[in-house]
Amino acid sequence: DADVTQTPRNRITKTGKRIMLECSQTKGHDRMYWYRQDPGLGLRLIYYSFDVKDINKGEISDGYSVSRQAQAKFSLSLESAIPNQTALYFCATSDSTLTSGGLRNEQFFGPGTRLTVL
Amino acid sequence: DQQVKQNSPSLSVQEGRISILNCDYTNSMFDYFLWYKKYPAEGPTFLISISSIKDKNEDGRFTVFLNKSAKHLSLHIVPSQPGDSAVYFCAASVFGNEKLTFGTGTRLTIIP
């Protein structure tokens, strides 16, 4: 079974609709992230959470909100979807480890949700 | 402002030869760098990383080189195999801040 799962995998919706994307993880990590990927722009951070009570905005949080329901669950909501939110959305988790080489904070990604807003 | 740049959107390499993917950064506070590999319809997967206290890190066929003075890192894949065909993302972070800043990606195609 996958360590980081995302639902739905694909979603087509209309402008103005409310959409929720869900992420679950079995890795036991405290840290969770939401990214979007657009062609030519790489991955950009939307929101991140270092534990259940800690939610932080990323570089492109406008138009989005999140909820950390439990250590294992982190949901992303689009309150009123618009066409320029059409993108590939990824959830990720991490658990930083301090090594002799410094802080390791590799992130583990889910398979992504392809969202199309018409 | 793109703090992590991958200036080559695509790269084609013959099977068995060396693939070199490049990444430049502008933020001198970055001190930890990662490479991720992404296949279609999948999430990115961690490949290799390097801390700023090193200038080279090797893992099997993959080697990452870091030139701090030039703010440049590169990923070498030797020998290249067809399964290496994917999009490669460079990412960077600042010690104590676990957010990653990603580059725009390079699509690597290995020609059999």
- Whether residue B99 and residue A48 make contact (CB cut-off 8 A), yes or no, is yes
Rounded to whole angstroms, the Cα distance separating A83 from A6 reads 21
**Model pLDDT, residue A33:** 96
Distances (CA, A) of A28 to A18, A72, A81, B7, B35: 29, 7, 31, 36, 23
Give the residue-averaged pLDDT of B19-43: 95
**Model pLDDT, residue A77:** 98
Burial of B57 (0-12, 13-18, 19+ CB in 10 A): middle
Chain A residues with CB within 8 Å of chain B CB: 4, 31, 35, 40-45, 48, 50, 58, 90, 92, 94, 96, 101-112
How far does A89 lie from chain B, in Å, by closest CA? 9
Bridging pattern class, strands B56-59 and A65-70: unpaired
Radius of gyration of chain A (CA): 14
**Model pLDDT, residue A101:** 57
How far does B92 lie from chain A, in Å, by closest CA? 10
Bridging pattern class, strands B97-102 and B106-111: unpaired
**Model pLDDT, residue A103:** 62
Burial of B70 (0-12, 13-18, 19+ CB in 10 A): exposed
| Residues B14 and B79: beta-carbon distance below 8 Å | no
- Whether residue A43 and residue B96 make contact (CB cut-off 8 A), yes or no, is no
- Whether residue A40 and residue B104 make contact (CB cut-off 8 A), yes or no, is yes
The residue assigned the tokens 């993917």 is B21
Q: Which pLDDT tens digit goes with each residue over B36-58? A: 999 998 999 999 999 899 999 99
How far does A65 lie from chain B, in Å, by closest CA? 18
The encoded tokens of residue A90 equal 């990824």
Q: Which residue of B has its CA nearest to A33?
A: B99
How far does A110 lie from chain B, in Å, by closest CA? 5
Question: Which phi and psi (to 5°) does residue A83 adopt?
Answer: -55, -35
The DSSP 8-state label assigned to residue B82 in this structure reads: G
Question: Which phi and psi (to 5°) does residue B87 adopt?
Answer: -95, 135
Rounded to whole angstroms, the Cα distance separating A39 from B34 reads 20
Q: Indicate whether A106 pLDDT > 90.
A: no
Instruction: Name chain A contacts of B46, Cβ cutoff 8 Å.
Output: 106-108
Burial of A40 (0-12, 13-18, 19+ CB in 10 A): exposed
A-interface mutation test, from B53, B64, B89, B104, most A Cβ less than 10 A away:
B104
**Model pLDDT, residue A100:** 61
Q: Which pLDDT tens digit goes with each residue over B69-105? A: 999 999 999 999 999 999 999 999 987 777 899 999 9
Question: Which phi and psi (to 5°) does residue B41 adopt?
Answer: 65, 15
The encoded tokens of residue B25 equal 């950064």
Rounded to whole angstroms, the Cα distance separating A101 from B101 reads 20
- Whether residue B46 and residue A107 make contact (CB cut-off 8 A), yes or no, is yes
Q: Which pLDDT tens digit goes with each residue over A22-65? A: 999 999 999 999 999 998 888 999 999 988 899 999 999 999 99
